[in-house]
Amino acid sequence: MSGDHETGAWSEHALPPKTLPFPEFIRQVADMDEGHGFRVGHVAQTIADLAGINTIDRATLKMAGELHDTGKLLIPNEILQAPRRLTADEKKTVQRHPLLGLAVTQWYDHDFTQDVLDTILMHHEHWDGTGYPLGLKGDSIPQLVRIVSLADTIDACASRRRYKAPWSVPRLQEYLHKESGRSFHPDLGRLCADKLPEIVSSMRTIPPAPTLRVG
């Protein structure tokens, strides 16, 4: 399929019931991509700990990480689970998930916090303004979102996906250094690169066990 929504693709991926209890809603969202949300919530807290950031409540950070990809509930499984690189059209469809996530929060019967809404909308924004969907830049992206964004990248790169092997720690360190000041806050990106072995080993404690490679 092309990712063209004239096919009615959004309805192919079932949303949870509107009245689903909130903890169960979180579980369903965080469980997508083999527990990606759970690990992002955990890694986000680890990054804040390593950076000595005391101004952000850890439970808030955990929840923001767990719910950041809420919009993927509306992306068809055949795209999310494609065992190959995505086509340009399919990539465009996936890139709608931050805005679709806000739609889900409007639809689902729960009062989401501003931190969670910001994270859902902005976790693919880049420090240098080249991200999406809004092209926000620098400090206009809240610190909490910048942390989740780093945690998101670390888990996506360090985990096995259907279309790629897990990156090694040195490869991911190099990438984080290169993207510091581009995709990521310069200091925070560098800190994550330097502390990556600790971050990666902390991910092993999160069920379901991620398939990580160290070295």
- The residue ranges that bind Fe ion (CB under 5 A) are 69, 152
Active-site hit among 72, 137, 164, 178: 72
Q: Shortest gap between Cβ of 157 and Fe ion (angstroms)?
A: 11
72 is a catalytic site residue? yes
Considering the complex, state which of residue 32 and residue 188 has its C-beta at the smaller distance from Fe ion: 32
CB of residue 99 vs Fe ion: minimum separation in angstroms?
11
Smallest gap from Cβ 35 to Fe ion, in A, equals 11
Which CB sits closer to Fe ion, 41 or 193? 41
Nearest distance from residue 174's CB to Fe ion, in Å? Answer: 21
| H/E segment holding residue 99 | helix 97-107
Contact 99, 133 (CB under 8 A): yes
Q: Which residue, 66 or 152, is less far from Fe ion as judged by CB? A: 152
Cα→Cα distances 20→13, 41, 140, Å: 16, 21, 33
Q: Tally the residues of the chain.
A: 215
User: Of the two residues 69 and 90, which places its CB atom closer to Fe ion in the complex?
Assistant: 69
Are 35 and 125 contacting, i.e. CB atoms less than 8 angstroms apart?
no
Instruction: Give the CA distances from residue 183 to residues 37, 41, 57, 168, 178, in Å, rounded to whole numbers and listed in that order.
Output: 20, 19, 24, 20, 9
CA 173 to chain centre: 18
Active site residues: 72
